[in-house]
Structures are given as structure tokens and as C-alpha cells.
Amino acid sequence: MLQPLAERMRPKTLDDYQGQEHLTGQGAVLRQSIESGKIPSFILWGPPGVGKTTLATIIANQLDRPFYTLSAVSSGVKDVRETIAKAKKQQFFSKPNPILFIDEIHRFNKAQQDSLLGAVEKGVITLIGATTENPSFEVISALLSRAQVYVLKHLTKEQLIGLVDRALAKDEFLKKKPIEIREYDAMLLFSGGDARKLMNVLELVTNFQKGEEKLVITNDFVKEKVQQNIAVYDKSGDQHYDIASAFIKSIRGSDPNAAVYYLARMIEGGEDIKFIARRMIIAASEDIGLANPNALLMATTAFQAATAVGLPEARIILSQAVVYLATSPKSNSTYMAINVAQKLVRETGSLPVPLEIRNAPTSLMKNLNYGKGYKYAHAEKGNFADMEFLPEAIKGTKLFEPSQNPNEEKVRSRLKALWKEKYGY
């Protein structure tokens, strides 16, 4: 049976591996561990389709170790224990321990993760976990303390195009076909940065090359063929991230009907309710913010309540919160403010804090005028002190711009009354 293109093009060595140079490039931390033959247990955290499974397989092959793989979606404690028992049987004095790769380790519950602890601690196995979720939230602290965490990054546009070109040049079937790619954008768009989906798109469109006729691939051609064959394109049937994206965009777009629909899609699909609730907390700050500060309280409370109650009743709690978020007024002013502020910090570096607002815990610091001239706001009229709080080099810089909604118009009026023309409110 012919393997899918994504499997045929899966890299076999570190030198063929695309992306993640900060981990696998010459002299990088993970590559040094691999080349030394001594790797710790670790967790690969990154978006889908950036090579987590591929990297684990390459490591096992390069170190010539027994390689066991489990999916947290379909495996339980029994499967974990059986795999550990097999690993124990392969233990010899001079033989390195087997590698156990667990995909989507964030979906393991506490009992399942606990069942790994002893084997990891005693060196029966070297654990490699893969997750798209922050391990700090989803992996128990006891297991996390016994493993390194390596963060994988999105593949760049150039790296994705390189994967396409490599497939056309090296795949045993595609390299024999007369194919010209004139435009890449549509393929990259449909893949969403996922290398596996990108190979699925490429395989789908190149199937339309017949005989000796040259196939010219353009954006319009890709859009037409993918949209006609969407079921073929999404071979894994895993629309996890598309549904999550639609869920958030429906909340942002103030459509409670669509938001509840995608909530139902996730629940019926077996999505972890904590994953859903965390997205709602993020949306409450990123998309609603000061337009309705209670949205963050609602989302946080929903997370706590849904986690405490569990399914099936948690669906009611989540539905209430989702409708509340979707029907709330929207603002991204605080989201934009921190983005602008971080960009400014990166550009200007560590600017000195004004002396007036520096801490002065010692007499020497007081002699150097630390804190001198500081006005205690609560001792001033209206609980406001007209002082300079930003570093001298960027004084007067406005980072926060209130949005046009009733709550933030009040904020704008107050800031204008306090600061007059200083920040242009």
C-alpha cells in the first residue's frame, strides 16, 4: 500500500530535519545531547505540524534505541504499564533504556501521568512527550520536574516552501512528474503552517497531473481543487484547531449562535473542557477587555466551575459563559497596549527609572536622591499626583488608546482630565 506523501517525506536524520535550529542546529542544546548519546526525558511543546513526532523518531533511530509510541487520545493506564513492562524486559547492563514517545501528553489525566513517574525516575524509559498545550498547565509538577521542556516554533514561510520544493525534487513519484509551481500562497494558506497538512495539499493537487502533460500549480488551481476535495485534503479528520479558531472568532464577532455551535462541536468531539475554558479566558481579555471587565471574571469563574463539576453538566456552565462573552461589547485596547509597550521595550532597552519613583531602602540610596520628590498620590487632591513616571527618553509616550465604547469613553475622559494634553487623550 502506497504511503501518504507526508510519510514518504518524513525526515530520517537531523540534517534533513527542517526548522527548530535553536534546538537541532549545530551546537544547539538538543543536538549536543543527541550526539553525546545521553538524552534526558523531555517534552516537546509547539503548534501542530512542526515536527514533534518526526524529531522523536529521528532521535530513537540515531541512538539506536527501542522506540515505543502511545497516543494519549487512545491509551490508558493499562497501556502505559504494559509498555513499561516491555521496556523492563529489554533492560541490560550495557544497553541504553528504550524511548517512550507519548503524543498529546496533555490529554493524559493525573492517574495516567502518575503511572509514568516511577519508570522515568528509575531510568526504565526515557520519556519524550509531545504537546500543543502549555506543559505548566497540563503536566503534573512531579513529572515536569523530571523532564526538560523544549519549545518548538512555527515553521517560516521559507521553510515551508523548502519542504514543497524538496518533495518535488526527492519524492520517488513526484520527481518523475512534469510539475511547475508558480504560486505557493494558497498551499501555505490551506496548510496553516502545518507541514503535514502542506504535504496533504501538495499530494492532492499533484494527483491532477496526467501522463506527459505539464501541471502548472497556481493559487487559483489550489483553491479550486482543495475546496472540491476538502475531505481528502484533511486526511487526519482532525479539525481541532480550525474549530477552536472558529470558536474564538465567533466570540470576537459577537455571534452567540455560532459560538455555541462551535462549543458544541468541541464538546461532541471530546475536547478537554479545560482547553475550551482557557480559550475563553484569553478571549475575555484580548477581545472584550475594558469594554466589559466582568467578562474576565465570568470566564475565570466558568473555568473553575466547569473543572469542578465536569461533564456533562459543565457544558451548561460553558454555554452560559460563551453567550455572555459573545454578547459583550468588544475592545482590544489593553491587548494592543501591551504589544506596543513590549515593542518599545525591545527597541529602547533598559532605560533608567526616574529617581523620584525609585525604591530607597538604604541610606546610601537616599543620599543619591532615590525617591526624592516622590508625591504620594493618596495625599494629593483627587488622589492624583502630576508626576513623570516614564523614563526621560520616552516621557509623554502614549501606549494605551481607549476604544470607542461607553466604558472606555469614561476612561478616556478621566485620563484627559488628569493628564490634560500630555498623552493626547
Pairwise CA distance, residues 40 & 60, whole Å = 13
What residues contact residue 403 under an 8 Å CB cut-off, 6+ apart?
289, 290, 291, 330, 331, 332, 333
* CATH code that applies to domain 348-419: 1.10.3710
Pairwise CA distance, residues 135 & 143, whole Å = 10
For every one of its 425 residues, what pLDDT tens digit does the chain have, with 9 covering 90 and above? 678 888 899 988 888 888 888 998 888 889 898 888 888 899 999 888 888 999 999 998 888 888 888 888 777 788 888 888 888 877 665 677 889 999 888 888 888 888 888 888 888 889 999 998 888 878 888 888 888 899 998 889 999 999 999 999 999 889 888 999 999 999 998 888 888 889 989 998 998 888 788 899 999 999 888 877 765 555 455 566 778 889 999 999 999 999 999 999 888 877 889 889 999 999 999 999 999 999 999 999 999 999 998 888 999 999 999 999 999 999 999 999 999 999 999 888 888 888 888 776 666 656 666 667 788 888 888 888 888 888 989 988 999 999 999 999 999 999 999 998 888 88
Pairwise CA distance, residues 155 & 20, whole Å = 8
CATH number (3.40.50.300, 3.20.10.10, 3.90.550.10, 3.50.50.60) of 19-151 reads 3.40.50.300
**Type of residue numbered 121:** E
What residue ranges do the domains of the chain occupy? 19-151, 157-233, 240-327, 348-419
Q: What is the pTM of this model?
A: 0.62
Pairwise CA distance, residues 159 & 213, whole Å = 29
Helix orientation angle between 240-252 and 273-283, rounded to the nearest 10 degrees: 30
Pairwise CA distance, residues 262 & 248, whole Å = 9
What residues contact residue 308 under an 8 Å CB cut-off, 6+ apart?
none
312: preceding bond cis by omega (within 30 degrees): yes
* CATH code that applies to domain 157-233: 1.10.8.60
Give 23's Cβ-side CA count (13 Å radius): 24
Cα 164 to the center of its chain, rounded Å: 24
Fold of 240-327: Zinc Finger, Delta Prime; domain 3 (1.20.272)
